[in-house]
Amino acid sequence: MINPEVRGLTDSMSGIDRDEGSQPGMWDCSVEFINESEFQVRIENVKVLHKITTGTENVVSQAPNRLLNPEQSWDFDFQVESKDVPELSSSIEFTPLFVALTRVVGEINKESTVYPVLRASINKSINPPEVDAYANTDMVIENIIVNNGTSIIGAINILDEIPQDFVPPLINQVKVTLGNIDISSRTDFTKKLELAPSDQSPDSKHQIIIELFNLSNEFIQDAKLIVSYPLKARNPRPPTEMLYKTPVKIEINSPVEGNLFTKSPDIEPEIKVKYVKRKLKTLKSIKPGMSEGEFSISVRIQNKGNVELENIIVKDKIPRGFDLTNINIDDYNVVKIGEESELQVKIAELKGNESLSLNYSCSGQGGYPRYEPEIIVQGREGSELTQSSDNQARTPAQTVKGSITSISTEKSALINDLFSNVFKKIDQTITGNALSAFIEDMRDQFPPGPILHQFMQFAKDIKTD
């Protein structure tokens, strides 16, 4: 604590005025003090004494406590009774005032403190950014995370959402690279890498959950972490029905763990879907067969659109009195509905601008009436999108999987010749390889169906290495 002490000289003037009043023997007097120094002064006490024959008397006793700046004055008026000019003397006490300005003489050095900033950016790349509605499209997703702060990133959590109508990747298809290092399967970096739920169904949303740690030596400033994986669009709906948002969020922390820094893209990522028309055309022809009572029927399904059609069911009625004798496809059912039959053929997929022909033969009596085939596109869900009102009124049906109810005379003779040739080869005691090759060469001459598959399997089994 500094106690300043100032020594200096003050300069002041004081005096008393004496004016005889209007009445004889009364004097109007005034005591005055003038501050002529450079200091402020404060007048503490003022006394004026009057000399009389018996001694002195005190005629003024004041304590003004008045602050006077340089060149300011103070005065006080009073009256004295005296026959002659009064002899007055004054005593004035005052205190000089001063302000001590304290100064510290020294040097202050301030050094800047640098604090590392934890920050990162996230951007999702969708390729292609737009897919066709009702189509199956292969895609590639890339999440690019850049450390654009000054702090090292020690750990990161990534939450990436895949919308419904898209097939998520398998876990081993998710690739995580940090710089030039593939850390997807490295347990020294990867704490968690999972898909929730763990199925590949496009009927629900999925989330890829990634937790990485121990990144201090690699995830430095400006380093880049990339998470990439394949994605498949499965019949996405047009934008009038559904918007496919695919949000992604990251949570990062520094090597010295504190509060998590959370970041998402400034604009929520979205997979755009372009509406594409579906076009389907069906043609049918009925021609007489090679023998009496036999008819050859051909049904052509044309996908005239640019998107594939999935899970197609073709239903064609077989008239009463006719039986299926031959067909050029394996996956079919013959459904008994009362006294009539219905041929049902399943087509897994028909790509855009492609066609498929269904050829089959029926044998019976009389003319063969024409019925228009019914085409049902079930799509990905596997449920029928359209059903005729007639189907709802039908009686319970009996399904015969992949069966041909009868064989025409011409086919019967042809099959008899085929097996006769096989028996002749067996009688010649040929090798298993030769017999197998002979049977496989005749494959197209046999009617399709489960028996054909068994016969072809027999041909493979008799081969010797």
Two domains, one topology: 12-97 and 280-406: yes
Per DSSP, the three-state class of 4 is coil
| Residue, of 12 and 146, whose pLDDT is higher | 146
Strand-pairing partners, residue 246, are none
Q: What does the domain layout of the chain look like in residue ranges?
A: 12-97, 121-274, 280-406, 410-461
Per DSSP, the three-state class of 411 is helix
pLDDT tens for 433-463 read: 888 888 777 776 666 555 666 677 777 777 7
Q: Domain 280-406 adopts which CATH fold?
A: Immunoglobulin-like (2.60.40)
> CATH for 121-274?
2.60.40.740
Question: Which parts of 36-72 are beta strand (E)?
Answer: 40-52, 55-62, 66-68
pLDDT tens for 325-379 read: 888 888 888 988 877 889 999 988 888 888 888 999 998 888 899 989 998 887 7
Are 141 and 129 contacting, i.e. CB atoms less than 8 angstroms apart? no
Q: Domain 12-97 adopts which CATH fold?
A: Immunoglobulin-like (2.60.40)
pLDDT at 207: 97
Q: Give percent of the chain with pLDDT exceeding 70.
A: 87
Measuring CA to CA, which residue among 278, 340, 333 is closest to residue 303?
Answer: 278
Q: Give percent of the chain with pLDDT exceeding 90.
A: 37
Give the pTM.
0.52
What DSSP line would sit under 324-392, residue for residue?
A: EEEES-SSEEEEEETTEEEEEEEEEEE-TT-EEEEEEEEEESS-------EEEE-TTTTS-S---HHHH
Residue 22 in this model has a pLDDT that exceeds 60: yes
pLDDT tens for 69-119 read: 988 999 999 888 888 888 888 888 988 887 766 777 888 888 888 889 999
**Region 32-44 average pLDDT:** 88
CA distances from 261 to 129, 141, 158, 221 (A): 28, 23, 12, 15
pLDDT tens for 230-286 read: 999 998 988 888 999 999 999 999 998 889 999 999 999 999 998 877 788 899 999
| 181-186 long-range Cβ contacts below 8 angstroms, 24+ apart | 181/218, 183/212
pLDDT at 400: 43
